[in-house]
């Protein structure tokens, strides 16, 4: 996998650079929460799924192939273009567009709001409003399946940490879903070689269901 050292204020640019190659930077294997979503809320009758920060589309295309009606967005135009190409290759349709997670708000309901490795781009003061929007525009019995990087006092900040990325507090994501049914949650620490310097990250995953009435 290629890696770059991030400079201040260059997140969008950074991902355009990473994605500007034939190869898929994150690979084509769907991320780990995808199979859990499939198990917890299998698609039925055109279930609508939103992939927030879809990158080059590996997860969005996986879900479209499984029968969800998929909408996806990312701030990287190069990523969005590659997601479209991947969907074409898989012979599925995808509604995909360029948008900034900080600005974009849902105005129609989804059965699944999904995101992996992206919510660190929401500054802490905007989290209640944005997560509130995702919750409000989730259909009854629908799920939010989200993963976030969390800070731990015993894990040093990554050498290539981006200035505009804000780690979450451990347990913080779960607290947004205190009144939903928690279908799955985990926190794990993994080794990473981005930037060529070995380091670790902690990631928290939550799949929560909006239980009706």
Ligand X SMILES: C[S@@+](CC[C@H](N)C(=O)[O-])C[C@H]1O[C@@H](n2cnc3c(N)ncnc32)[C@H](O)[C@@H]1O
Binding site for ligand X (CB under 6 A): 11, 15, 26, 31, 53-55, 58-59, 74-76, 79, 100-102, 116-118, 121
Q: Measured from the CB of residue 59, what is the shortest distance to ligand X in angstroms?
A: 6
- Per-residue tokens: 186: 């985990």
Q: Which is nearer to ligand X, 8 or 179 (CB)?
A: 8
Taking the C-alpha atoms of residue 134 and residue 144, their distance in angstroms, rounded to an integer, is: 8
Q: Which residue is nearest to ligand X (CB)?
A: 55
Taking the C-alpha atoms of residue 95 and residue 93, their distance in angstroms, rounded to an integer, is: 7
Helix (H, G, I), strand (E, B) or coil at 85: helix
- Per-residue tokens: 184: 């799955």
* Cβ(61)–Cβ(84) below 8 Å: no
Q: Measured from the CB of residue 181, what is the shortest distance to ligand X in angstroms?
A: 24
Taking the C-alpha atoms of residue 72 and residue 142, their distance in angstroms, rounded to an integer, is: 17
* Cβ(134)–Cβ(143) below 8 Å: no
Q: Which is nearer to ligand X, 41 or 54 (CB)?
A: 54
Q: Which is nearer to ligand X, 101 or 173 (CB)?
A: 101
Q: Measured from the CB of residue 60, what is the shortest distance to ligand X in angstroms?
A: 9
Q: Which is nearer to ligand X, 162 or 172 (CB)?
A: 162
Q: Measured from the CB of residue 120, what is the shortest distance to ligand X in angstroms?
A: 8
């Amino acid at each position: 996998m290629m890696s770059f050292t991030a400079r201040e204020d260059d997140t969008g640019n950074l991902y355009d650079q990473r994605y500007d190659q034939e190869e898929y930077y994150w690979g084509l294997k769907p991320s780990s929460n995808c199979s859990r979503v499939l198990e917890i809320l299998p698609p039925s009758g055109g279930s609508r799924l939103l992939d927030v920060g879809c990158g080059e589309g590996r997860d969005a295309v996986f879900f479209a192939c499984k029968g969800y009606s998929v909408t996806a967005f990312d701030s990287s135009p190069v990523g969005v273009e590659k997601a479209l190409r991947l969907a074409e290759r898989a012979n599925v349709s995808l509604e995909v567009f360029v948008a900034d997670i900080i600005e974009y708000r849902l105005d129609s309901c989804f059965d699944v709001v999904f995101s992996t490795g992206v919510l660190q781009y929401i500054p802490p003061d905007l989290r209640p409003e944005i997560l509130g929007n995702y919750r409000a525009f989730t259909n009854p019995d629908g799920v939010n399946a989200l993963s976030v990087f969390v800070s731990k006092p015993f894990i040093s900040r990554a050498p290539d940490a981006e200035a505009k990325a804000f780690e979450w507090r451990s347990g913080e994501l779960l607290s947004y879903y205190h009144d939903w049914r928690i279908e799955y949650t985990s926190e794990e620490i993994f080794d990473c070689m981005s930037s060529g310097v070995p380091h670790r990250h902690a990631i928290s995953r939550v799949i929560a269901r909006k239980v009706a009435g």
